[in-house]
Structure 1
Amino acid sequence: MTHPPPIPPFDSRGLLPPGDYQVTFQDIRQSHLITGAGHGPTWDAAWRSTLLDGCEVMVRQLWQVGITSIVLDGSFVEDKDHPSDIDGYFDCDIKTLASVVAQLNALDFHRIWNWNPESRVFDPATGKAQLPMWHQYRTELYPNTQQQSGIRDRHGQPLLFPSAFRQQRGSFEQKGVLLISQGGTP
Structure 2
Amino acid sequence: MTTEVTCKNCCSAIHKEAKICPFCLTPQNTNAALRRYIPALIIFVVIFAAFRISSSINTNRYEQPVSFAALKDNLVVESSELSFSKCGDCRSTFNAVTIGMIKNNTQHGWENFQIEVRFYNKDGKLIDSVSDTAYGLAVQPHSEVSFRVMERAAKATEEYASHKVIINDADQISDYY
Question: By percentage of residues, which structure has more strand?
Answer: 2
Question: By percentage of residues, which structure has more helix?
Answer: 1
TM-score bracket for this pair, using the shorter chain length: under 0.3
Tell me the TM-score normalized by structure 1.
Answer: 0.22
